[in-house]
Amino acid sequence: MRGHSQIFYRTDPPLLALVNNQSSRAAGMRRSAEGAQLACCKEFASLINYGSLRSLNTLQWKRFSIIGHSMGGNVAGMFSALYPEMVESVVLLDTYGFLPTEVTDMFTNMRKGINDQIQYDNMANERKERVYTYEKAKERLKVANPYLSDQSADILLERAVREVDGGFVFTRDFRINLKNIIYINIDQCLHVLSQVKAKVMLLLAKDGLFKTFTLPDGYADRICKSWTDQKATFVEVEGDHHVHLNNPEAVSSVITDFLQPQSPDQTESQSGNQTSRL
């Protein structure tokens, strides 16, 4: 599951149950592997998981592993809590899997999100697709995601744009930029987290999201403690929020090893050492 900047209409061939957030720019209408349209608005997390479940039913996957980056990791966390019987393992890339909000901020944010959506809808007839040259489209993508390398930007642009007369237009749904209207508080977050039964690894970048984005005081510690109580594995790697894209070698072996089936003896021997750092 991709994060914000990585959700576009075209999807990759499935890798496990790849929930990208670099974004879960799962907003708007996405095409499934079969070409069907799925309504996956960020504002309605239930629809994101509805779309995921419909796709999985089409693929006839009964049990699988999920890799989720950034907001896609939040979708992966929620899906794993809602359907624990379906999820074998979860890898959360530079995310805690849930993003709680202080209760005092919820309704202010909700009102802004609703007003933004109404304003967006009212301007529908005035909006025109902006046409870019390839280089300008790449420049625009990197402005929004300054940690992307040139090569990573080129990779994303393979699915991020489509060619039209005069240049290229972006394929993502810009409603993803509107204020979210669905939130959970820290107590709800910890309860939902406790419902996850899968094997979980939090693969965090040393200079990643939480260097620039801060949760309310004490929230990160409480979430990490809950994951520790769930016997989750924590791994820290050198890199930024997009390390899996900019330097996939830094994470690929870690993820591959984690997803390998383990014998009961291996599981028992590792139960006392759940935290590792690279």
Q: Where in the chain is the domain with CATH 3.40.50.1820?
A: 2-100+184-270
In sequence order, which residues have a C-beta less than 8 Å from that of residue 173 and are 6 or more positions away? 25, 27, 28, 29
Phi, psi of 88 (to 5 degrees): -80, -50
DSSP state, residue 172: S
Residue range 165-183: average pLDDT?
Answer: 85
The CATH number of the domain covering residues in 2-100+184-270: 3.40.50.1820
150 or 178, which is more confident?
150
State the pTM of this model: 0.76
Give catalytic residues, as residue numbers: 70
% of the chain exceeding 70 in pLDDT: 76
- pLDDT over 90 at 86, yes or no: yes
For residue 157, give the 3-state DSSP assignment.
Answer: helix
Residue range 70-95: average pLDDT?
Answer: 93
One-letter amino acid at 214 equals: T
